[in-house]
Structure 1
């Protein structure tokens, strides 16, 4: 049988409910009957009052109630005064429980003496003792009832509400059903709709539940006092829903978490050492750029990628280019981790110091992205080749990678005062805003130089609000990224791994093994076909040549290739652990300099044009067949008429003689001599040109003949090509 403790509530065999006031032994103690009013403690045997099946231990009343500290000071003072009044009756001088107060024969004497001592009524003392024993033996139960009004009240507004001015109507008293309707409308029509107004939802509630149709079928709302007022409706909103419920419902969980969620924890909690976590992200850089070939032309805004080490805030890689946020841009940013920093600084005009790049070539144990390019199929190359982990934060939650987000802010702040063409984010949506794009003057290369300067400055200067530990501060550490990296590596080691640029480049390029089924490389007699282009080995490798021979014999090997989405000129072919660099064959050289997406678009346009001309080609074929059928019909009729009645097999009897005779007739008909120069006459059908075409032509000039016009016409590119080919042929014959 369950052991009962102080304040436990159980159901007795007599159908009454009891609370344990004090236990004398595991099987007996003092209890108070809660089912009877003004019941006092009595000592009983627990086994007599209850059975095993009837035990139902419950939490005490005070544990379910609000904390004592949440009541007003006045209410708490009154409860403390009540407790001080009965405390000498409950406890002895040494702090032990006074058993005499539980004994009914001694209780009256003790209460009368305490009442005379305090100068209050003994009824008041009895009231305090009854509350103490029956409601849970806690100061909370001694709080005056008025202080608890509204905390545990039943639903509805029965008998409450301010009287309307001038007594125009009686206050509508909301019951349980009315509150349920109001809560349902608020939840479904106000909270879950971003632009819904409370007044509009209140009108919908009245139209739905507090209106009727008149004789004309029109909907008429009930008069005031017969439906909840807007004040009552607003009261239900405030008491049944928290501000977070309303805000989260209207904005959505993700937007609420991004803008209003409390900031807890730190990004340093997960990072254990330098090189453990690199945060990577991209943003549209708020500056308009110009074309390098023609600075008058504006080419729009570039995309900026940044890679930060979470532990030390060090910028380990970046990329600025015209590629949209995609795997291509992410790949180039990751490649910058191992890029030759000396060549990089020299290219963009910055002094090179090896100390500025302590993480050069160090690949992290984990990349943290935002469900963009780092969640693509191509990102598997990081896991397979470098044994790193890719993790993605919740979408629309930039605080999950706050280090790199702060890096974007710092980059914008570094250039906004100096760079022409910078457009503040708010200006992009402002009406009649300043046309910042007309001030654009920087090229991609020049803007990259500005970003590189900001990267060096960030890595070599102290950061504000970086949480250095007291031991680090006392040891002389400074919150400078390159110093933090160096000291953290000395004390905690580095979680990253070192890779060369060439290895990273080969590993990060997309491969056909990772691509959808449509992207496959195929060996043919013409070369290696991939994405509508044909490739051949750069150095005419005999292995690739043998593949092409085998393809003609129906034994083409299976190959895969790595490719750069930005350029179709080269691919890297993989087969049995070997790699071969291949370039566009002459048949596909027309696409040189194009991206794979552009080639696909050009071919689609070419196919579309063919489809548009298909009807004309079909019409021409139909016309040709009609004319051919007419000729054939006439020929059949003439042949049938020419028959002499002989057998069909006799038609070939005189084939040789008739062939020679036909040949002679055609020679006489087709053979003519060209006219001599004296026989040539001026062409009379000369077309007179428009007067505007005679600019600079004298009146004495005579019209040209067709031969003269043909001799003087300008040469076309085809003429020049044929002439050059003929000269090359003549040159070859001369040297034989």
Structure 2
């Protein structure tokens, strides 16, 4: 049970409310009953009084009322005079509390002595003491009641208001019920609705509560003076609601916080050193691009990722690509932290200087995102592999990561004057605006080069409005990100860690997990099956080969794999022992080479849908085949029955060999033919004459001879080449084994 302190208010078991005047021990003390008008302090056991009731600390009068200093000088002087009257009674000479005044047997004697000393009435002193103990033992409670009149009073018209000039009606006096109705209407129909007007709410209020129906059933409002005016409704709005309440209710909390919330504090307060917090975010870069292969084709706007070090404002990583904002883009931006900066600058035509990249390879202690890519399941790879922390700000509140948001603005401003195809954001939704996309001329690589130039310029030039401390200014520091990183590193150290590009790449790739919702990899006899594709080991690893053998015997091992969402050609398989095996597409899945996983899934869905659409036609063909087959079998059974003899059924196999030879001889006579001579071929064209059985009966097993000259001139077909390659591959495999 919570311990009670002086001035705490609590509910007793007897239904009364008590205030603690003084504590004698953790379980006992002096209390005064607030539920009875003329009660005085008594010493009671707290446990007996309150049992398991909760302390109502918010009911303390001093916690609700304004500060003592805000009252008039006259009111404060009267409160000080009242305090001086009771001060010798409640305090000893050394400043400690006087317990005798709490004892009712000694209280009357002390009060009478003080009344005689000051020549005032003892009733006045008792009144001061009762206020002191019951209302919170503060000078404020001794202020005369007239000084506090109206401060906590329910607002109403109370006879106020401008009378009409022509005296047509009296001012309507709003009571507590009228104010309650007006407040409910304002809350539900004005504050919570963005486009509601006060005039409309006033009309609705009158129609609901200040109208009647006439004999025809029509709704008629009461005359002026019998309902609140719009000015009175506006007075209730201003009295009971603050401008923030109205604006927040109409716009919503998130929009209000983004646009109207007071800006306090600084982003530098949380960052303690370089590499501590990296802010990461993505935006649509407002420039239309063209295809590299054919500049006539427009490919739309790219997505720009930026990574800023919060402490020094240094841009430590970036990525510009055609992917939508997703984990793939965020992964590539994070990979740029450890990317070879020399190769990067050479690729995009910028001079390389190591001083421009002081944070090369430094991974932060904390990533700050905005509930987008950094809130996905794949972002767990950062926490598991690099032991970093991921923090996400409130959605729709860009001010919480203002460093990177300002970086986007700077990047747009740097190229908007020179980049063809740049579309100002305000023009994107403007009617009949200029068609900026028709001016597009930059490829993705050229636009990346422009962004890289802006990053180098930002990192090496002084920033405006960066809050250097007086000590830094006196030490000669400049607000240049590269210099700030170096100097802060020497002063406070670095909170980040170094990782290689290959390690980062492997750790950041999406990976299958044991999560039921995660994608699965499965070992089969044909290879590693993953996302409708079959993979085989790049080096024909014996371990993977043995997995496939075991899978054929029903003993498939459990494996996971890392994959790149952009390309299905390769994956990396992980076993339970932590080993990795690079795998590539098998020949069975070679048709998907060059596609992304999303594209493969789309192709499979389209393929299945096409088969589904042809299912009726296939079923119809199968039904027709079965009908024809049934007719054939029916005729065969009938003919067999007709040819039956009186011999036993088992005797049908007695002469099988002889009958088989006779059937073969009959078929040879029907199927065998000889090629025509050259003269006959020229005479009849491509028609081959059939010879009678008398001429070929003895040589039906011989193959017709083709002249050597004709055989040499016959062109080789594609099927011949394919068969020759297959035979050579079989020979090579036997030789290898």
Aligned residue number for residue 275 of structure 2: 275
Shift of 1:562: 1.1
1:304-340 Cα deviation digits (max 9, x unpaired)? 1111111111111111111111111111111111111
Matched, 1:497 2:497: yes
Distance 2:77 2:545 in 1: 103
SS of alignment partner, residue 166 of structure 1: coil
Aligned residue number for residue 396 of structure 2: 396
Check conservation: 1:61, 1:135, Cα contact below 8 A.
no
SS of alignment partner, residue 559 of structure 1: strand
Aligned residue number for residue 10 of structure 2: none
Distance 2:249 2:73 in 1: 41
Check conservation: 1:101, 1:107, Cα contact below 8 A.
no
Check conservation: 2:310, 2:403, Cα contact below 8 A.
yes
Matched, 1:587 2:588: yes
SS of alignment partner, residue 166 of structure 2: helix
Check conservation: 2:274, 2:493, Cα contact below 8 A.
yes
Matched, 1:561 2:561: yes
Q: Residues 319-334 of structure 1 correspond to what in structure 2 (within 5 A)?
A: 319-334=319-334
Q: Aligned match of 2:722 in 702, 722, 725?
A: 725
1:684-708 Cα deviation digits (max 9, x unpaired)? xxxxxxxxxxxxxxxxxxxxxxxxx
Aligned residue number for residue 13 of structure 1: none
SS of alignment partner, residue 540 of structure 1: coil
Matched, 1:652 2:665: no
Aligned residue number for residue 680 of structure 1: 684
1:257-303 Cα deviation digits (max 9, x unpaired)? 11111111111111111111111111111111111111111111111
Task: Decide whether aligned partners of structure 1 residues 512 and 103 sit closer, same or farther in structure 2, where only a CA change above 3 A counts.
Answer: closer
Aligned residue number for residue 420 of structure 1: 420
Matched, 1:477 2:477: yes
1:228-285 Cα deviation digits (max 9, x unpaired)? 2222212111110001111111111111111111111111111111111111111111
Q: Residues 224-235 of structure 1 correspond to what in structure 2 (within 5 A)?
A: 224-235=224-235
Aligned residue number for residue 340 of structure 2: 340
Shift of 1:101: 14
1:654-709 Cα deviation digits (max 9, x unpaired)? 444444444444333333445633652799xxxxxxxxxxxxxxxxxxxxxxxxxx
Check conservation: 2:68, 2:76, Cα contact below 8 A.
no
Aligned residue number for residue 435 of structure 2: 435
Structure 1 length as normaliser, TM-score?
Answer: 0.77
Tell which deviates more after alignment, 720-729 or 403-412: 720-729
Matched, 1:613 2:591: no
SS of alignment partner, residue 535 of structure 2: strand
Distance 2:64 2:623 in 1: 93
Aligned residue number for residue 246 of structure 1: 246
Tell which deviates more after alignment, 387-396 or 668-677: 668-677
Tell which deviates more after alignment, 612-621 or 461-470: 461-470
Tell which deviates more after alignment, 276-285 or 206-215: 206-215
Aligned residue number for residue 450 of structure 2: 450
Distance 1:619 1:173 in 2: 86
Aligned residues: 633
Extract unaligned runs of 5+ from structure 2.
8-20, 22-35, 50-56, 88-92, 94-110, 133-137, 688-715
Check conservation: 2:512, 2:518, Cα contact below 8 A.
no
Distance 1:637 1:4 in 2: 113
Distance 1:297 1:4 in 2: 79
Check conservation: 2:155, 2:236, Cα contact below 8 A.
no
1:502-541 Cα deviation digits (max 9, x unpaired)? 1111111111127655522222222211111111222222
Check conservation: 1:79, 1:139, Cα contact below 8 A.
no
Check conservation: 2:115, 2:125, Cα contact below 8 A.
no
Q: Residues 228-377 of structure 1 correspond to what in structure 2 (within 5 A)?
A: 228-377=228-377
SS of alignment partner, residue 504 of structure 2: helix
Q: Residues 641-720 of structure 1 correspond to what in structure 2 (within 5 A)?
A: 641-673=642-674, 676-677=680-681, 680=684
Distance 1:191 1:504 in 2: 51
Shift of 1:379: 1.1
Distance 1:4 1:407 in 2: 54
Task: Decide whether aligned partners of structure 1 residues 729 and 319 sit closer, same or farther in structure 2, where only a CA change above 3 A counts.
Answer: closer
Aligned residue number for residue 520 of structure 2: 520
CA RMSD of aligned residues (A): 4.2
Structure 2 length as normaliser, TM-score?
Answer: 0.77
Check conservation: 1:62, 1:141, Cα contact below 8 A.
no
Shift of 1:174: 1.4
Shift of 1:62: 9.0
Check conservation: 1:280, 1:307, Cα contact below 8 A.
yes
Distance 1:135 1:161 in 2: 36
Q: Residues 95-174 of structure 1 correspond to what in structure 2 (within 5 A)?
A: 150-174=150-174
Task: Decide whether aligned partners of structure 1 residues 86 and 499 sit closer, same or farther in structure 2, where only a CA change above 3 A counts.
Answer: closer
Task: Decide whether aligned partners of structure 1 residues 668 and 216 sit closer, same or farther in structure 2, where only a CA change above 3 A counts.
Answer: farther
Distance 2:512 2:365 in 1: 26
Check conservation: 1:278, 1:308, Cα contact below 8 A.
yes
SS of alignment partner, residue 543 of structure 1: helix
SS of alignment partner, residue 429 of structure 1: coil
Tell which deviates more after alignment, 540-549 or 229-238: 540-549
